[in-house]
């Protein structure tokens, strides 16, 4: 243990400022420790795992990265009950020294309620900046272990996994002629709110004292302090990983359903799990297997963790009838499986566009384009890996009708031809394109409304179930995978691909990789006395802009 405690950064680093921290070295130091944690976990050396976790959570570089995470994410401008924010480099650097285990006492969470899609309220617990940074720090030590022990086909809140991974796995399981035809759609009552504290304290492989303090810190609502006796708060950085650990093991519980012989005949129950956070489906060869054998196992599994399976929302469906999962509808049509955007998702999008247009009747056309295009682009990119072409075409027509009504309301005393010429253009032999014309050195250009149908349907590369982004053995696999995904996202934009490869796929400001999942933009930078366009992380550009480095 003493040997592991010596693996820290040089003491001289502590006498520097926030802007002088070597972030490449910080990432590399933490990455090496996480790889060693994974190796020790795989070898069953749990004492060494604890020692390495202690080393990581006491490392200066890990603490610096934890502070960087909570001050650069979307919640960095939201304070906890202490109303404190770390907005300046000086405050961020001083915050590193406050991340200590000895004497640490988390403050109660600030409780806020947000609306869910069904109209009900979801409670969120917002920790203070210090508590968020401590959670980010200990998550660096916990996540490598969690990834190593996770179910193969669990995709929610895991590094380098997303909804598309879950849906391509779903398609692979159900698309063949010999695939299972029955699906159990599982729903857990208030998963985050009811996980047993005792179970978490006995089973989560991390510092128990720190975990106990987080679980029992309570929350403040309308000026009154309430205790927390169960659950892990939604809003905490470490909460999704704790929930994932609590739900890990369903695959093992179902592992008894293998190919067997019944009455002298080979029989395969075809029981498989696909889980995204607390949403999951389980396939089966028959309705009876799922109802009489699988469901009781699930009830017992969740009961041990203080959770309960919702009887009303847990249903068993035949694939020919179809079911909704993660915003997609999965259904077999005459033996062919098609995954499409669900009707609920389409309705939610059109309602959002309708409300936006209704509440912005008097704004400029350019502003409407700036508000609508990110919404439509994000929605189409989410569904581009499924059979969505027909849905895109029909939804485009609905949005066009809403746009046309918006135009008519603005000019009730003008002719239809005048309105059409004012708001719509003919671009590349396509008429009725809603947008604005702009002059440029190359001639007239147009800023147009995003058209869903223009999004090309592509095939998503399925991830291997055993892949672990913290394991050194899988580094090359994830490097190749991120390369493919980034190039696919830049398809048709050769200049951006050239810039990205010229930079060795890294941000020139921080040295960290630029991937599809890291927000980036183009920026003019002076490198070696030459000004060139580069791709850089948005957060890095904002930081440089605050220092006056960008014009």
The residue behind tokens 């409304």 is 449
Edge-first strand listing for the sheet containing 121-126: 121-126, 109-115, 219-221, 224-226
* Burial grade of 438 (CB within 10 A; 0-12, 13-18, 19 or more): exposed
- CB-based burial, 373-395: b 16+ in 10 Å, e otherwise: eeebeebbebbbbbbbbebbeeb
**The Cα angle at residue 491 between residues 506 and 443, in degrees rounded to 5:** 105
Q: Is the pLDDT of residue 7 over 50?
A: no
Q: How far apart are CA 238 and CA 135, in angstroms?
A: 6
Among 244-253, 261-270, 307-316, whose mean pLDDT is lowest?
261-270
Antiparallel, parallel or unpaired: β 315-318 and 520-527: unpaired
* SS3 at position 375: helix
Among 62-71, 155-164, 288-297, 475-484, whose mean pLDDT is lowest?
475-484
Q: Is the pLDDT of residue 549 over 60?
A: no
Q: Is the pLDDT of residue 265 over 90?
A: no
Structure tokens at 333: 């049509």
Structure tokens at 38: 């994974």
Residue 550 has a pLDDT of 54
* SS3 at position 317: strand
Q: How far apart are CA 538 and CA 89, in angstroms?
A: 17
Mean pLDDT of 323-334: 95
pTM: 0.86
Q: 10 versus 436: which is more confidently predicted?
A: 436
Q: How far apart are CA 130 and CA 94, in angstroms?
A: 11
Residue 495 has a pLDDT of 81
Q: Which of 25-39, 224-238, 516-530 has the highest mean pLDDT?
A: 25-39
Confidence of residue 16 (pLDDT cuts 50, 70, 90): confident
Residue 193 has a pLDDT of 83
* Burial grade of 307 (CB within 10 A; 0-12, 13-18, 19 or more): buried
Residue 510 · residue 25 · CB < 8 Å: no
Mean pLDDT of 122-129: 88
Q: How far apart are CA 21 and CA 14, in angstroms?
A: 9
Long-range Cβ contacts of 108-116 (<8 Å, 24+ apart):
108/81, 108/217, 108/218, 108/219, 108/220, 108/225, 109/80, 109/81, 109/217, 109/218, 109/219, 109/220, 109/233, 109/235, 109/236, 110/79, 110/80, 110/81, 110/219, 110/220, 111/219, 111/220, 111/221, 111/226
Q: Is the pLDDT of residue 268 over 80?
A: no
Q: 149-171 pLDDT, tens per residue? A: 999 999 999 998 999 999 999 99
| Dihedrals phi, psi of 175, to nearest 5 degrees | -85, -20
Residue 3 has a pLDDT of 42
Question: How many other C-beta atoms can be found within 10 angstroms of the C-beta atom of residue 32?
Answer: 13
Looking at the DSSP assignment, which residues form a beta bridge with residue 283?
183, 272
Domains of the chain: 21-151+194-236 (no CATH), 341-452 (no CATH), 470-546 (3.40.1800)
* SS3 at position 539: helix
The residue behind tokens 């996994």 is 161
* SS3 at position 452: helix
* SS3 at position 333: strand
Q: How far apart are CA 21 and CA 65, in angstroms?
A: 10
Q: 392 versus 515: which is more confidently predicted?
A: 392
Residue 441 has a pLDDT of 55
Structure tokens at 194: 């009811």
Residue 5 has a pLDDT of 41
The residue behind tokens 């050239």 is 498
Stated as kind and residue range, the H or E segment containing 168 is helix 163-174
Calculate Rg over the CA atoms of the chain. 26
Residue 328 has a pLDDT of 96
Among 99-113, 165-179, 378-392, 534-548, whose mean pLDDT is lowest?
534-548
**The Cα angle at residue 442 between residues 440 and 447, in degrees rounded to 5:** 50
Structure tokens at 207: 């510092």
Q: Is the pLDDT of residue 6 over 80?
A: no
Q: Is the pLDDT of residue 374 over 90?
A: yes
Q: 508-534 pLDDT, tens per residue? A: 887 778 887 777 888 888 777 777 888
Among 142-156, 174-188, 343-357, 436-450, whose mean pLDDT is lowest?
436-450
Q: How far apart are CA 183 and CA 538, in angstroms?
A: 42
Residue 141 · residue 37 · CB < 8 Å: yes
Confidence of residue 40 (pLDDT cuts 50, 70, 90): very high
Confidence of residue 322 (pLDDT cuts 50, 70, 90): very high
> What whole-number percentage of the chain has pLDDT above 70?
92
Question: How many other C-beta atoms can be found within 10 angstroms of the C-beta atom of residue 46?
Answer: 12
| Dihedrals phi, psi of 433, to nearest 5 degrees | -95, 115
Confidence of residue 482 (pLDDT cuts 50, 70, 90): confident
* Burial grade of 299 (CB within 10 A; 0-12, 13-18, 19 or more): middle
Average pLDDT, the chain: 87
Among 39-48, 183-192, 274-283, whose mean pLDDT is lowest?
183-192
Residue 118 has a pLDDT of 65
Q: Is the pLDDT of residue 421 over 90?
A: yes
Confidence of residue 312 (pLDDT cuts 50, 70, 90): confident
One-character DSSP codes across 61-121: HHHHHHHHHHHHSTTTT---TT-----SHHHHHHHHHH--STT--PPPEEEEEEE-TTS-E
Mean pLDDT of 251-272: 74
Mean pLDDT of 282-293: 92
């Amino acid at each position: 243990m003493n040997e592991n405690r010596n693996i820290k950064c040089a003491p001289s680093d502590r006498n520097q400022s926030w802007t002088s921290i070597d972030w490449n070295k910080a990432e590399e130091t933490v990455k090496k420790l996480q790889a060693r944690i994974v190796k020790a976990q795989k070898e069953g050396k749990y004492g060494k795992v604890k020692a390495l976790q202690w080393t990581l959570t006491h490392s200066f570089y890990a603490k610096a990265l934890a502070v960087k995470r909570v001050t650069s994410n979307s919640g960095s401008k939201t304070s906890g009950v202490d109303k404190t924010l770390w907005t300046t480099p000086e405050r961020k650097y001083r915050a590193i020294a406050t991340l200590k285990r000895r004497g640490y006492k988390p403050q109660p969470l600030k409780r806020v309620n947000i609306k869910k899609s069904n109209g009900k309220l979801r409670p969120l617990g917002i920790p203070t900046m210090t508590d968020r940074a401590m959670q980010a720090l200990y998550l660096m030590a916990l996540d490598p272990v969690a990834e190593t022990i996770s179910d193969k086909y669990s995709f929610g809140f895991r590094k380098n996994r997303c909804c598309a991974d879950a849906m391509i796995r779903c398609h692979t399981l159900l698309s063949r002629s010999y695939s299972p035809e029955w699906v159990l759609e599982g729903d857990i009552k208030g998963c985050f709110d009811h996980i047993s504290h005792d179970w978490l304290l006995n089973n989560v492989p991390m510092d128990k004292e720190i975990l106990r303090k987080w679980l029992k810190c309570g929350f403040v609502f309308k000026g009154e302090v309430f205790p927390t006796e169960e659950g892990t708060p939604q809003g905490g950085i470490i909460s999704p990983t704790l929930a994932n650990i609590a739900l890990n093991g369903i695959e093992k519980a179902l592992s008894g359903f293998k190919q067997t012989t019944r009455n002298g005949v080979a029989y395969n129950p075809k029981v498989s799990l696909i889980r995204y956070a607390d949403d999951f489906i389980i396939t089966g060869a028959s309705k009876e297997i799922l109802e009489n054998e699988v469901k009781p196992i699930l009830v017992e599994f969740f009961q041990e963790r203080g959770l309960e399976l919702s009887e009303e929302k847990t249903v068993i469906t035949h694939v020919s009838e179809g079911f909704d999962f993660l915003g997609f509808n999965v259904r077999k049509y005459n033996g062919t499986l098609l995954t499409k955007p669900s009707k609920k998702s389409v309705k939610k999008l059109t309602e959002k566009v309708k409300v936006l247009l209704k509440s912005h009747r008097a704004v400029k056309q350019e502003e409407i384009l700036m508000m609508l295009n990110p919404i439509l682009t994000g929605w189409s990119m989410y569904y581009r890996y499924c059979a969505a072409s027909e849905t895109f075409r029909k939804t485009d027509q609905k949005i066009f009708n809403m746009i046309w009504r918006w135009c008519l309301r603005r000019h009730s005393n003008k002719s239809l031809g005048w309105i059409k010429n004012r708001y719509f253009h003919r671009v590349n032999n396509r008429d009725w394109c809603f947008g604005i014309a702009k002059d440029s050195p190359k001639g007239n250009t147009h800023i147009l409304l995003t058209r869903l149908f223009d999004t090309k349907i592509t095939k998503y590369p399925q991830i291997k179930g055993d892949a672990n982004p913290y394991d050194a053995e899988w580094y090359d696999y994830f490097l190749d995978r991120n390369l493919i995904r980034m190039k696919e996202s830049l398809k048709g934009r050769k200049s951006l691909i050239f810039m990205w490869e010229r930079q060795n796929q890294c941000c020139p400001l921080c040295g960290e990789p630029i991937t599809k999942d890291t927000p980036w933009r183009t920026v003019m930078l002076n490198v070696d006395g030459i000004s060139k366009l580069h791709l850089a992380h948005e957060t890095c550009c904002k930081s440089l802009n605050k220092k006056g480095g960008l014009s």
